[in-house]
Amino acid sequence: MPALPSPPPPTDDTRWQLVDRVMQRLDYQPSALIETLHAAQDAFGFLDKTTLGYIAARLHLPPAKVFGVVTFYNHFTLQPKGEHTLAVCTGTACHLKGKDRVLSWMKERYHLVPGETTADNKLSLVEVRCVGACALAPVMLTDNTPIGKKTFEEATTIIKEWLGDES
Amino acid sequence: MNREELKNLADEHSRHLEGFTHHILVCAGLGCPDNEAIIAGLRRVVAEQHLDKQVLVRKAGCMGLCALGPIVLIQPGEITYHNVHPGDAEEIVAALGKEPVPRLLLSEDLPFFTRQYKNVLALSGRIDPESIEDYIAAGGYGSLLGVLTTMRPADVIRTVQESGLRGRGGAGYPTGLKWATVAKALGEKKFIICNGDEGDPGAFMDRSILESTPHAVLEGMIIAAYAVGANRGYIYVRAEYPLAVKRLQRAIHEAERKNLLGHAICGTSFDLTLQLRLGAGAFVCGEETALIASVEGRRGSPRPRPPYPAGKGLWGCPTLINNVETYANIAPIIRCGAEWFASIGTEQSKGTKVFALTGKIHNAGLVEVPMGMPLREIIFEIGGGIPDGHTFKGVQTGGPSGGCIPEEFLDAPVSYESLSALGSIMGSGGMIVIDETSSMIDVVKYFMEFCMEESCGKCAPCRTGTVQIHRLLTRFQERQATADDLAMLEELCDLLKSASLCGLGQSAPNPVLSSLRYFRQEYLDRMIPADTPGEANS
Amino acid sequence: MKKRRLATLWLDGCSGCHMSLLDTDERLLDLAAQVDMVFSPLADIKEFPEQVDVVCIEGAVSSAEDEARLHRARRHSKLLIAMGDCAVTGNIPAMRNVHGADAMLRSVYLEREPLQAQIPGTNLPPLRDKSLPLHHFVHVDLFIPGCPPAADTLFTALNGLLTGTADLRLDTRFGA
Amino acid sequence: MSDTILTLTIDGQPVSGLATETILQIARENKIDIPTLCYLEGLSAVGSCRLCMVEIEGSPKLHPACVTLIQEGMVVTTQTERLQGYRRNIVQLLFAERNHVCSVCVSNGHCELQELAHKLGVDHIAFPGCYPELEVDASHRRFVLDHNRCVLCTRCVRVCAEIEGAHTWDVKNRGMRSRIVADLDTPWGDSATCTGCGKCVHVCPTGALSEKGKSVAEMLKKRPSLPYLVANRTEERQ
């Protein structure tokens, strides 16, 4: 079978090279899909339909299959995130030790629920699956850095700082 | 690399390490925040005082006592400091060779340290996870070289079989038997996979092992691949474990450079390439057929077994899948012999097991104990009991697939057989302690919500049944449940257990069933009396 | 032989099931020989009586009033039959459950450019947010699915109950 | 080995088959009825609806008949009270999962879910409905996808990928949020991959996929063509 023509990247953004490199390293095999999606999300922060369409075409995968994979895994997001991210661990130890406290605080003070981003695009609140730092429960990650022990106070201080909230 | 070169490298690096009078090992795991600042602080003080030649500040793996972290270990002397801050650097350096800093000192007689039996974790916290030389100087890769030069694949399999090692991922399938099946399976290509998709919320054994001693896992995998005849392998790690991923990547690269991986390993005719594959957030990918689907780049939906992966796995080829801790047990078994391993533990559960001890417990952290140790000893002696004057209510083993064991069975030994007799499972090693302030129904509902969110949606009983069970538990939580609800709850649990496609669905009812067995009164107390007209069941 | 006391109740349904019951034609006479019709939308009786042997209920439970009438019927009847899909599954009335009662009322009375844009309120029992089948409130002794169940099915069921046939095999299904 | 004839009993009836055949195939050959929903002859078997679970003597577990190969001396039971109970519960769970309103459904009278409920004696749904808010995609010129009636059997996904070769359909999300999806969540009418062949419509067991402009009486689904297609194609290849 003659090779299908492969499309060029959708834009001349150099970040496409990061995505292309992964596909090339994995020989454009269908099995490269998840690794490629990781690379694309690392590069662009999220996965939009242009990106998915490009990856599907390059890997010769049906678009529906790509969409099925992207939406199966929690880690992938189709929406851009805010400048900062507060991730609240939903592991068992964190549940027992009151992860809900900071979530209710966020809801009360900023009307923000997990999965949402503030209107000024400063902060995204997300829930993450157990990060395995259970001894620090309840665990929160501020821009991917775990904070422990005095979690609640630390987290609220950092969030107020991010949002320029001086009260 | 041959045995002699390995020995030379080990000797050379040992001499280098022995050249320092003091070693300061800082836990650089995910569970010890600020460790980078502490290491930087210590290095700065050492440099300022021109002690570079005498004092070596090293990054190390997890030392287990995460609740009191960050932990710093001083050698020689086995001095352990806890709750260290970057600002403590000067004091720590000043105390080297003198009286330890009392404020930070942990007694080495703590049962937490003395009651453990470290096998898999023996090097954890003792070596730099990012240095292959450190691992080799500690005897690492010796088992591999021994295997490649003196043992046939069948000998390796026999040794593993004789050791009695069972899978540490949860199900406890005999490891040697699995290896033998893959070795016998027909197929030109065979694969080996390491399951590092530790999805049980509240468990972090595999994260810690991968972060602390990545080479131990690689060594186990290389030996396994040799034994079953696989030439390609994948390590599937959760994307939530960035540090483990980074260290594994580095470890693979270093092992390749030392010819311990890749083409013609150590001059033999054995080839093995290992690649990392990142999970993307799906608990069900811990199930082996789902994990294979994910490695193939597909949705992580399990498929019916048989055929089992040992016969038809990755791309339809025979595939060996073991968990991180299982592989980490291999090198010690080869090194110390099957008899040694089989001498530890109980009749049907051999060796040691690593547990992640969390929840309402003093010494939250990672512990390794011989199989057969009573739960009470793990929780009350090693774990230091329940903090803040609260009382023990139950311990959940096996996470969302396990059950909660109450006080009256605390003298049961931890082993595959006894935990399953108690209606729980060994699982991967999560041990979550619950005190009297938590309602069992709340805990059980938490696990059911987890299973509901993590259900892949392929089979009807799990996809739809978890939703209905979760709804019923909410009715109990809100004290709206009726006797019919209780009957329906039990019926649905039976359905999921018997009819679901994979382990996730089949074990999802376990927390409910075990709480109905041991804490039934909590359900009964939340039911509305039979003669009250029922509220709408919606 | 003393005649059995039969009641029928019409909750949130289209009355099609009652029509189907009337559709038993001349067999109504056989039924009439066996029962007294003590309460029914087909008879002018205001209060649900105290002692009823069999009550056939059409329609889903869509308001507090429906709920109260259902409970009263259950309290005073030996056998309660869910007659037709609305009573058995919620059927058409339950289609609003996806959006809730408010959204449905707004959509129907305010957002469709009606002549008089207002939600009728006075003198009407307020709707429950969800419209639900009978068995979510009370114990149901027999379910007769069908929209509506065929006249034959209804007759077989009633006749069977009255004559004490142990094994009632009704050839009907949802949507029949 | 594959041409060895094996003998076994299903519901007490002695039957025989090849080692490559499944319990379901042999049962159907012998007019033993095992309920199925996701299974369709001609498509790969996925064993996901769990309705065809059977008991096998000597095994504590239940086995999906559609993917379990027969073995010599196997003693299979397909109709115990326990199995029928599970089947009734699964059918009820499926009804409760989405908005199945048989009386106004285009497939009323020729729907496999409705028929299963009837055959299994499901006369009401014990579980409360979930009443999810679901879309109806009527963007295609000839066909309609109504998620309210979908049971996620994935026959449409398989027929499109395996027989038509278009792979327009897949499943998005997971668990209770799983939905059939075209391309990159594209309205069906805008799908670049759909060939408009209509095979998905004809394999759909319920009213989730239907043809526009057809009345309930007209919306009959034509299925027997599948094994014929598969057989022809296999012969061609050989």
CATH code of the domain in which B499 resides? 1.20.1440.230
Q: What is the CATH number of the domain that holds B81?
A: 3.40.30.10
Question: Does A157 share its domain with A88?
Answer: yes
Q: Are residues A91 and A145 in the same domain?
A: yes
* For residue B76, cis peptide bond before it (omega within 30 degrees of 0): yes
pLDDT value of residue D1? 52
CA atoms within 13 A on the CB side of B39: 16
What does the block give as tokens for B248?
Answer: 């594994």
Beta pairing class for D5-10 and D75-77 = parallel
Q: How far is CA B206 from CA B121, B198, B275, B288, in A?
A: 11, 7, 18, 16
A-proximal residues of B, 392-421, CB under 8 Å: 396, 399
The nearest CA of chain C is from the CA of B535 a distance in Å of 7
Whether residue A105 is found in the same domain as residue A58 = no
Cα of A108 to nearest chain B Cα, Å: 23
Strand order in the sheet with B365-370: B365-370, B352-359, B430-435, B392-397, B403-406
* A58: containing domain: 15-72
How many beta-carbon contacts under 8 Å exist across B and C? 18
DSSP B95: T
CATH numeric code, D102-237: 3.30.70.20
Mean pLDDT, rounded, for D155-180: 97
Structure tokens that stand for C66 in this block: 């429906």
Domain that holds residue B59: 17-108
Quick one: B184 and B73 in the same domain? no
| B109 confidence band (pLDDT: 50, 70, 90) | confident
Domain range list for chain D: 5-79, 102-237
Is A43 in the same domain as A64? Answer: yes
When divided into structural domains, chain A yields a total of 2
DSSP assigned state of B97? T
Q: CB contact, 8 Å: B444 with chain A?
A: no
Q: Do B193 and B220 touch, CB atoms closer than 8 A? A: no
Query: Chain D residues with CB inside 8 Å of B299's CB?
Result: 171, 174
- The correct CATH number of C4-94+129-163 out of 3.40.640.10, 3.40.50.700, 3.40.50.300, 3.30.1360.10 is 3.40.50.700
Q: Which two tokens stand for residue B529?
A: 């009396």
Q: Is residue B128 part of a domain?
A: no
> Are B314 and B383 in the same domain?
no
B455 to chain D: which residues are within 8 Å by CB? 174-176
Same domain, B145 and B282: yes
Q: SS in 3 state form for chain A?
A: CCCCCCCCCCCCCCHHHHHHHHHHHCCCCHHHHHHHHHHHHHHHCCCCHHHHHHHHHHCCCCHHHHHHHHHHCCCCCCCCCCCEEEEEECCHHHHHCCCHHHHHHHHHHHCCCCCCECCCCCEEEEEECCCCCHHHCCCEEECCEEECCCHHHHHHHHHHHHHCCCC
Query: Which tens digits make up the pLDDT trace of B354-367?
Result: 999 999 999 999 99
The span from the CA of B51 to the CA of B22, in Å, is: 10
Q: What is the pLDDT of residue C1?
A: 63
Q: Which regions in chain A score pLDDT beneath 50?
A: 1
DSSP state, B151? -
The answer, for A150 touching chain B at a CB cutoff of 8 Å, is no
Q: Which of A88-92, B32-36, B247-251 has the highest mean pLDDT?
A: B247-251
pLDDT of residue B538: 45
Kindly state whether residues B174 and B310 are assigned to the same domain: yes
Q: Is C74 helix (H, G, I), strand (E, B) or coil?
A: helix
CB B24, CB B42: distance < 8 Å: yes
Note whether B25 and B52 are same-domain residues: yes
Residue type, C134: L
Residue A93 lies in a domain: yes
Closest CA to B493 of B476, B473, B477, B475: B473
What is the percent of chain D where pLDDT is above 90? 88
Q: Are strands D5-10 and B319-323 parallel, antiparallel or unpaired?
A: unpaired
The percentage of chain B sitting over the pLDDT mark of 90, rounded to a whole number, equals 91
Domain boundary among B287, B320, B340: B340
Question: Is residue A2, in this structure, part of any structural domain at all?
Answer: no
Touching check for A144 and chain B: CB below 8 Å?
A: yes
User: Are both A93 and A157 inside the same structural domain?
Assistant: yes
Look at residue B223 and tell me if it is in a domain.
Answer: yes
Asked whether B72 and B85 are in contact (CB, 8 A), the reply is no
pLDDT at residue B89 above 50? yes
Of the three residues B381, B410, B435, the one that is the final residue of a domain is B435
Same-domain status, B353 and B336: no
CATH of D5-79, one of 3.40.50.1980, 3.40.50.2300, 3.10.20.740, 1.25.10.10: 3.10.20.740
Residues of A in contact with D192 (CB under 8 A): 63
Closest C-alpha among B342, B519, B524 to residue B434:
B519
- How many Cβ atoms from other residues are within 10 Å of residue A43's Cβ? 17
Task: Please tell me whether residue B411 adopts helix, strand or coil conformation.
Answer: coil
With respect to residue A79, please indicate whether it lies within any of the assigned structural domains.
no
Contact D151, D113 (CB under 8 A): yes
Give the C-alpha separation, B243 to C146, whole Å.
61
Tell me the C-alpha distance between D124 and C135, whole Å.
9
CB contact under 8 A, A68 and D171: yes
Is position B10 within any domain?
no
**Inter-chain contact D114–C174, Cβ cutoff 8 Å?**
yes
User: Could you tell me where the beta strands, DSSP code E, fall in B65-113?
Assistant: 72-75, 79-81, 105-106
Last residue of a domain, one of B435, B455, B480: B435
Answer whether residue A113 is part of any domain.
Answer: yes
Those residues with Cβ within 8 angstroms of residue C50's Cβ, 6 or more apart along the chain or in another chain: C76
Question: Bigger pLDDT: A120 or B378?
Answer: B378
> Are B496 and B509 contacting, i.e. CB atoms less than 8 angstroms apart?
yes
What is the pTM (predicted TM-score) of this model? 0.95
Question: Does residue C43 carry a pLDDT above 90?
Answer: no
**Chain D interface disruption, residue of B464, B470, B495, most D CBs within 10 A:** B464
A89 and A143 assigned to the same domain: yes
At residue B533, the pLDDT reads 52
Is the pLDDT assigned to residue C112 strictly greater than 90?
no
The dihedral region occupied by C45, where left means phi > 0, alpha psi between -120 and 50, and beta the remainder, is beta
- The yes/no answer to whether this complex scores an ipTM above 0.90 is yes
- Long-range contacts for C20-24 (Cβ within 8 Å, ≥24 apart)? C20/C84, C20/C146, C20/C148, C20/C149, C20/C150, C20/C151, C20/C154, C21/C56, C21/C83, C21/C151, C21/C154, C23/C151, C24/C151, C24/C152, C24/C154, C24/C155
Q: Is B177's pLDDT higher than 50? A: yes
**Is B34's pLDDT higher than 90?**
no
Helix (H, G, I), strand (E, B) or coil at D150: coil
| CATH number of the structural domain spanning residue B273 | 3.40.50.11540
User: How far apart are alpha carbons B67 and B106 in whole angstroms?
Assistant: 13
| CA atoms C70, C74, C76, C80: torsion sign | positive
B329 phi/psi in degrees, rounded to 5: -80, -15
B383 has a chain A CB within 8 A of its CB: no
Task: Give the separation between CA D56 and CA D77, rounded to whole angstroms.
Answer: 6
pLDDT, mean of residues D21-44? 96
Residue C11: C-alpha distances to residues C73, C104, C105, C135 (Å): 11, 19, 19, 14
- Size of chain D in residues: 238
Q: Residue D216: closest CA among chain C residues belongs to which residue?
A: C175
Beta carbons of B441 and B393 less than 8 angstroms apart: no
The domain locations on chain C are: 4-94+129-163
CA separation, residue A150 to residues A140, A156, B33, D86 (Å): 11, 10, 12, 49
pLDDT of residue B171: 83
User: What pLDDT is attached to residue D133?
Assistant: 96
- What are C119's two structure tokens? 């939600």
User: Whole-angstrom distance between the N-terminal and C-terminal Cα of chain B?
Assistant: 68
Q: Which residues on chain C are in Cβ contact (under 8 Å) with B534?
A: 136-138
Residue B301 sits in the same domain as residue B381: no
For chain C, what percent of residues have pLDDT higher than 90?
74
- Whether the per-residue pLDDT at B536 is higher than 60: the answer is no
Q: Which of B128, B126, B140, B164 is nearest to B332 (CA)?
A: B140
Q: What is the mean pLDDT of residues B387-413?
A: 95
Question: How much is the mean pLDDT over chain B?
Answer: 94
What is the DSSP secondary-structure string of D29-94?
A: HTT-----SS--TTS-----S-TTEEEETT-SSEEETTTPBP-TT-EEE---HHHHHHHHHHHHHH
Q: Do D193 and A65 touch (CB under 8 A)?
A: no
B295 lies in the same domain as B221: yes
Look up residue A71 and give its amino acid. T
Q: Are residues A155 and A93 in the same domain?
A: yes
A68 contacts B282? CB cut-off 8 A = no
Closest listed residue to residue B323, CA positions, set B144, B193, B176: B193
Looking at residue D227, its pLDDT comes to 79
Clarify whether residues B335 and B205 are in a common domain: yes
CB within 8 Å: A96 and B360: yes
- Residue in C62, C64, C18 with CA at minimum distance from that of residue C39: C18
Give the chain A residue whose CA is nearest to the CA of D168: A64
Cα–Cα distances in angstroms (integers) from residue B57 to residues B14, B24, B40, B102, in the given order: 16, 5, 9, 20
CATH value at residue B380: 3.10.20.600
Residue ending a domain, among A72, A97, A114, is A72
Cβ contact A62:D161 at 8 Å: yes
Domain count, chain B: 4
For residue range B445-481, what is the model confidence (pLDDT) as tens digits? Answer: 999 999 999 999 999 999 999 999 999 999 999 999 9
B296/A93 Cβ within 8 A: no
